[in-house]
C-alpha cells in the first residue's frame, strides 16, 4: 500500500529539516518540500533526501509558458522526485507540456513523477476570484472545471481540501488523485486553515494522500504525532471535525 501521509517540511534550512527528520522512528518518510526550503537549499537537498530513501512531493506550483514548464519538469523528473505540481490556471497546453517534460526526464520503463494541479489556492476566496481575478463563477464551479481541465491535460490529480475530494472525484473520475492539506487533530487549532479535517475524516471524505505540517512539526513530540496520524488514518472514522 502507498504511504498516504505526507509530512510538510516547512522549514527554512537543511539543518532545521534534518533536526525534524531525526525525531522520527521511521527511517523513511513521504516529505513535501515547498518553495521556502527549495529556494534556499536547491536540488542538492532533494537529491540527498532521495538517496536517504524518502519520497518527495516537490511543491513548487509551476506556472509559466509551456516551453519553460516543459524544460523545468524535465529537470525535476531527473531529480527522481515522486510528486510535483502546477497551477491549473496556466491552461491545458502548459499542463500537457508539464507531463511531456516529466516523461522526457524519466528513464525509459519507469513511471514519471505524479503531477498534480492546484485549482485555486486555499487563500483565494470567492470575492478575490470575482473582484480581483475577474472570474465570474462560483468557487465550486471553478474548482470542478479546473480539475476536469487538469485531467484532460494528463495530470494525475489535484491538491484540494478534504471536503472537496469527493466532489472532484465524482466530476472527474474516481481514480483522479486527491492530495489534501488542512489536516488537524481534533483538539488542534486551525491556524490559518479554513476547511480542516482529522486524518480519519479526510480518508473517509476520499483523500488519497494527506499533507500534514504544523500538527506534526510543532508537536511536542513530532514522532508521536506522526505515528498518531498513521494510526488515525488506518482506523478511519474515529473523530471528525
Ligand atoms: O501546517 P499545515 O498542516 O497547515 O501545512 C499544510 C501544508 O500544505 C503547508 O505546506 C501549506 O503550504 C500546504 N498547502 C496548503 N493548502 C494548499 C496547498 C498547499 O495548506 N492549497
Determine if ligand 1 sits within 6 Å of the CB of residue 217: no
pTM for the model stands at 0.94
The residues carrying an active-site annotation are 61
- Averaged pLDDT, 112-129: 93
Determine if ligand 1 sits within 6 Å of the CB of residue 124: no
State which ligand 1 atom lies nearest to the alpha carbon of 32: 10
Res 224: pLDDT: 98
Spatial neighbors of 41 by CB under 8 A, at least 6 apart, are: 13, 14, 17
State which ligand 1 atom lies nearest to the alpha carbon of 122: 21
Res 237: pLDDT: 54
Q: What is the pLDDT of residues 51-107, one digit of tens each?
A: 999 999 999 999 999 999 999 999 999 999 999 999 999 999 999 999 999 999 999
Q: What is the pLDDT of residues 150-168, one digit of tens each?
A: 999 999 999 999 999 999 9
Q: What is the pLDDT of residues 158-212, one digit of tens each?
A: 999 999 999 999 999 999 999 999 999 999 988 877 789 999 999 999 999 999 9
Q: Are 176 and 206 in contact (CB under 8 A)?
A: no
Name the residue of 181, 184, 199, 228 whose CB sits within 8 Å of the most ligand 1 atoms, as the mutation to test its pocket.
Answer: 181
Domain spans in the chain, listed from the N-terminal domain onward? 5-240
Residue nearest to atom 5 of ligand 1 (CA): 213
209 CA from centroid of ligand 1 (Å): 13
Q: What class does CATH assign to 5-240?
A: alpha beta
Amino acid at each position: 500500500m502507498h504511504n498516504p501521509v505526507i509530512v510538510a517540511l516547512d522549514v527554512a534550512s537543511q539543518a532545521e529539516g534534518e533536526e525534524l527528520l531525526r525525531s522520527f522512528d521511521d527511517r523513511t518518510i513521504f516529505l513535501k518540500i515547498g518553495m521556502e526550503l527549495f529556494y534556499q537549499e536547491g536540488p542538492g537537498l532533494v537529491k540527498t533526501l532521495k538517496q536517504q530513501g524518502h519520497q518527495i512531493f516537490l511543491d513548487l506550483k509551476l506556472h509559466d509558458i509551456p516551453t519553460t514548464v516543459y524544460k523545468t519538469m524535465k529537470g525535476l523528473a531527473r531529480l527522481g522526485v515522486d510528486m510535483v505540481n502546477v497551477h491549473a490556471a496556466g491552461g491545458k497546453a502548459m499542463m500537457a507540456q508539464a507531463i511531456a517534460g516529466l516523461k522526457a526526464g524519466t528513464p525509459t520503463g519507469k513511471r514519471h513523477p505524479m503531477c498534480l494541479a492546484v485549482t485555486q489556492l486555499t487563500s483565494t476566496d470567492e470575492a478575490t476570484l470575482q473582484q480581483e481575478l475577474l472570474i465570474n463563477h462560483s468557487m465550486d464551479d471553478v474548482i470542478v472545471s479546473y480539475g476536469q481541465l487538469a485531467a484532460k491535460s494528463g495530470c494525475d490529480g489535484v491538491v484540494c481540501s478534504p471536503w472537496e475530494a469527493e466532489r472532484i472525484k465524482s466530476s472527474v473520475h474516481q481514480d483522479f488523485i486527491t492530495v489534501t492539506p488542512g489536516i488537524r487533530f481534533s483538539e488542534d487549532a486551525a491556524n490559518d486553515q479554513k476547511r480542516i479535517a482529522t486524518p480519519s475524516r479526510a480518508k473517509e471524505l476520499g483523500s488519497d494522500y494527506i499533507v500534514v505540517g504544523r500538527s506534526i512539526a510543532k508537536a511536542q513530540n513530532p514522532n508521536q504525532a506522526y505515528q498518531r496520524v498513521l494510526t488515525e488514518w488506518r482506523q478511519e472514522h474515529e473523530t471528525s471535525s
